[in-house]
Amino acid sequence: MRLSKCPGSMARCIVSIGLGAMLPCISICSWAQTPNSGEKVVADSSPASAEPHNIAPSGNLLFLQRPQAEAQTQQGVTVWVAPLRAEESQAAFGLPLAKRGVQPVWIRVENRSGRAWRFMPVFLDRDYFSAHEVAWMFRGKAGVDAALLTQLSARAMPSTIAPDTVASGFVYTNLTLGFKVVNVELVGDHAHLQFDFAREQPGGHFDFRSLNPAKLYPVHRLRAVGLAELREALATMPCCATDKTGLRQGDPLNLVVVGDERSVLAALVRGGWDFTDALGARSTERMVSAFVLRESYRNAPVSSLYFEGRAQDFAMQRSRSTVSQRNHLRLWLTPLEFSGQPVWVGQISRDIGVRLTERSPTFTTHAIDPDVDEAREYLLQDLLRSGVVQRYGMVGGVGAAPVNAPRSNLTGDPYYTDGARLVLFPSQQTVSLSEVEVLPWN
């Protein structure tokens, strides 16, 4: 590998290693500014042109421009990221990667810290694909294309980043729709850096609305509260979500999350939760098909429940092997604010099956686990395990419903509960279990 200059520019340029007659050696210039004089440059895996599986050198590298707006720097290390959209990965690799569930994430690390770092892709996606796996997806009758495998391996993000160098490359992650959290973890000698990026992804029609409390509620209802006031306010909120009329009570509002929209979404996505598709003819048809065929549907829709006269602001789920089984939650923005952060009230339950019903406009509904407290506890444990909770507590407000006298939701499913609400404060940095604060609330 050798370095050259872009014509008429002071930007550095990496000239790719020649990969044989089918993969001619050409140069692709980086958008990055020229490194300081004397800086070494690690193999920069920016896309090179080739055929039949490489991009054409026609300038379809717009994803390289997107990361500039949100670079993050810690202790002399600057990181940029760009999750590729379907059309971008097609252009960059000449392969329909998105159709195979693969989403390349481009990462660039500028290391001016004076120490070596190891990049840990498993923290970005614990089920990421190796170059060999991706090449195997596109094997022909003669087996894996050696040139393609070489190309995919050469473009992978280097695992080590030497002092005063720049490294970049791809991690082949699982395709994410709606919202993608890119977690870049660097480990050094008795040192650790964590960079969290949250990126909205185009494609799909999800059950999600971005809201501003000031536009949603009248001024006299907006309240900034302290911890004691927050506890009191949460305990006096309505017990349950309702139907559209507000007259019939549905599932219990057994969840509260304190944090800005991005922090809440990032915590849930990092914990393995997905957006749900908006409820409509196409998503309903797909859900019914998945039910009949006993297939998974990661973004299966949820029905609308109401709080303050509006349907959920967004819904998310953690799917399992079939569409019949999942944990899912709905969240609504409240007029409360704690320490400058908005407060969300929500509902979480575990679906254990699908059944027919006349009470749903789609004539199908998920049957919930009647022990709704179990789903609440699952969420707490799941997010604690993911290291995204800085504090939590429990407040009243739902009202107890014992096993021998359960309440029912809008579709007639019985549930019982101890009457408590889980209150979560997500963290943008990884928190160990020993560092989590447990609020002394009932």
Residue 207 lies in a domain: no
Residue 344 lies in a domain: yes
pLDDT at residue 283, as a whole number = 57
Residue 206 lies in a domain: no
pLDDT at residue 2, as a whole number = 34
- My answer on whether 223 and 196 are in the same domain is no
Whether the CB-CB separation of 41 and 19 falls below 8 Å is answered with no
- My answer on whether 147 and 267 are in the same domain is no
Residue 143 lies in a domain: yes
Domain C-terminal end among 200, 232, 266: 200
Whether the CB-CB separation of 290 and 323 falls below 8 Å is answered with yes
The domain tally of the chain equals 2
Q: Which residues contact 135 (CB under 8 A, 6 or more apart)?
A: 144, 145, 148, 149, 152
- My answer on whether 294 and 396 are in the same domain is yes
pLDDT at residue 400, as a whole number = 97
Query: Is residue 23 very low, low, confident or very high in pLDDT (cuts 50, 70, 90)?
Result: very low
Highest mean pLDDT of the ranges 75-79, 216-220, 275-279: 75-79
45-64 pLDDT, tens per residue? 333 333 333 433 334 566 77
Q: Average pLDDT, stretch 274-303?
A: 63
Q: Average pLDDT, stretch 330-339?
A: 95
- My answer on whether 226 and 188 are in the same domain is no
Range of the domain at 131: 2-200
Residue 397 lies in a domain: yes
- My answer on whether 160 and 118 are in the same domain is yes
Residue 337 lies in a domain: yes
- My answer on whether 139 and 47 are in the same domain is yes
Residue 367 pLDDT greater than 90, yes or no: no
pLDDT at residue 270, as a whole number = 80
User: How much of the chain exceeds pLDDT 90, in percent?
Assistant: 52
- My answer on whether 337 and 419 are in the same domain is yes
pLDDT at residue 46, as a whole number = 39
Q: Which residue has the higher pLDDT, 257 or 275?
A: 257
Query: Is residue 106 very low, low, confident or very high in pLDDT (cuts 50, 70, 90)?
Result: very high
Torsion of CA 243, 246, 250, 254, to 10 degrees: 120
Domain C-terminal end among 200, 230, 259: 200
- My answer on whether 193 and 274 are in the same domain is no
pLDDT at residue 266, as a whole number = 82
Highest mean pLDDT of the ranges 12-16, 240-244, 295-299: 240-244
Residue 208 lies in a domain: no
- My answer on whether 237 and 168 are in the same domain is no
Domain C-terminal end among 168, 200, 232: 200
pLDDT at residue 256, as a whole number = 98
Q: Is 277 helix (H, G, I), strand (E, B) or coil?
A: strand
- My answer on whether 240 and 356 are in the same domain is yes
- My answer on whether 122 and 261 are in the same domain is no
Residue 11 pLDDT greater than 90, yes or no: no
Flag the least confident range among 67-81, 288-302, 310-324: 288-302
Q: Which residue has the higher pLDDT, 104 or 6?
A: 104
Residue 160 pLDDT greater than 90, yes or no: yes
Mean residue pLDDT across the chain: 79
Q: Which residue has the tokens 């809440």?
A: 264
396-410 pLDDT, tens per residue? 999 999 999 999 999
CA atoms within 13 A on the CB side of 101: 7
- My answer on whether 193 and 257 are in the same domain is no
pLDDT at residue 59, as a whole number = 41
Nearest to 386, CA basis, from 196, 237, 207, 259: 196
Query: Is residue 286 very low, low, confident or very high in pLDDT (cuts 50, 70, 90)?
Result: low
Residue 205 lies in a domain: no
